[in-house]
């Protein structure tokens, strides 16, 4: 599909995600595991600014975090290159990525950035792609990418490609506690497999959620669980300590997000969340964030000027 350049530059906010429920089920023939997860975006956001370059072809990615790669190892670069290839366009792109979401932390920052890239290019290049088309493209970049096109809340199954939007009524605040170290996803899966006996199954309560299009926080929070905790907590006891502390600070529920390393607590109001953030932020090496849960879908807007896209 060939498009036309509709905007000089676009800006996209890429939110973090948490897993309110995460069950890791059977191993698939392709080597991946089937997942069953309720995912939710929260207002800790990276920012991407994208513009077309007329002086050269290819993708030029720059990032304000010098420790992150800006070549094909970065999901933003891969998403941009794939989108341009799929669109059949020969254009140059300049992308600036401003990182706020900790990486290697189970918050889906890289996947969210990739989804934001595809969404931004869809508008910037006037491609006219549907949500389903963008999600299919995102699946080729990473398993968590499709979710962000159906956010803020969704039920995610399979490898991550089956996503069903879920309306969650009410508001909540979330305190994210990043302990200062990453956890390698492959290691977490290996530990989980070694710790298990027998095939995992879904409870009747979780199966009943599959038929629902809308739920409340009161429906979800009693069901909050993350299978990775049984694999990760014995090795990283500080994460169990963080979970316990969040609950003692008034969290309605507290969980590891993804395979870690971030632990989050869900709070009913901002005041309690801010108090918990202050307490958790005093733990050694920990960074704590108090943010709202998102209530709107991923979207992009025109960047104010092309000059604001330049790095340095």
Catalytic residues: 17, 144
* Phi and psi angles of residue 54, each rounded to the nearest 5 degrees, phi first: -95, -5
Among residues 50, 65, 46, which one has the least CA distance to residue 96?
A: 50
Measured in residues, the chain has a length of 312
Helix axis angle for 109-124 and 75-87, nearest 10°, is: 30
Report strand pairing: 92-98 vs 58-63: parallel
Alpha helices in 150-195 (DSSP H): 185-195
Q: Which two tokens stand for residue 166?
A: 């879920």
Could you tell me the CA-to-CA distances from 203 to 182, 209, 283 in Å, in that order?
Answer: 31, 10, 36
Q: In the chain, which ranges are continuous DSSP H helix? A: 75-87, 109-124, 131-139, 185-195, 204-209, 217-220, 229-232, 237-248, 270-280
Cα–chain center distance at 233: 22
């Amino acid at each position: 599909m060939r498009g036309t350049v509709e905007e000089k530059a676009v800006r996209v906010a890429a939110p973090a995600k948490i897993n309110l429920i995460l069950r890791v089920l059977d191993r698939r023939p392709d080597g991946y595991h089937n997942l069953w997860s309720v995912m939710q975006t929260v207002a800790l956001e990276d920012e991407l600014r994208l513009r077309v370059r007329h002086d050269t072809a290819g993708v030029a990615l720059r990032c304000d975090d010098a420790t992150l790669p800006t070549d094909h190892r970065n999901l933003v670069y891969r998403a941009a290159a794939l989108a341009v290839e799929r669109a059949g366009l020969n254009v140059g792109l300049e992308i600036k990525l401003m990182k706020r979401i900790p990486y290697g932390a189970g918050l889906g920052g890289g996947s969210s950035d990739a989804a934001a890239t595809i969404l931004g290019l869809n508008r910037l290049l006037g491609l006219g792609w549907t949500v389903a088309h963008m999600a299919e493209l995102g699946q080729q970049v990473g398993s968590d990418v499709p979710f962000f096109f159906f956010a803020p809340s969704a039920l995610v199954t399979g490898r991550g490609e089956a996503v069903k939007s879920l309306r969650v009524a009410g508001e909540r605040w979330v305190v994210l506690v990043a302990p200062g170290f990453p956890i390698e996803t492959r290691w977490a899966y290996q530990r989980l497999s070694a710790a298990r006996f027998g095939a995992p199954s879904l409870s009747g309560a979780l199966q009943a959620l599959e038929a629902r299009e809308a739920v409340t926080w009161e429906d979800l929070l009693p069901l909050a669980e993350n299978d990775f905790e049984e694999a990760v907590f014995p090795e990283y006891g500080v994460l169990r300590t963080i979970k316990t502390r969040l609950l003692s600070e008034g969290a309605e529920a507290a969980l590891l997000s993804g395979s870690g390393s971030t632990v989050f607590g869900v709070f009913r109001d901002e005041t309690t969340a801010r108090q918990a953030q202050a307490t958790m932020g005093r733990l050694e090496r920990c960074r704590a964030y108090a943010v709202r849960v998102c209530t709107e879908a991923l979207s992009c807007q025109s960047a104010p000027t092309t000059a604001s896209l330049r790095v340095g």
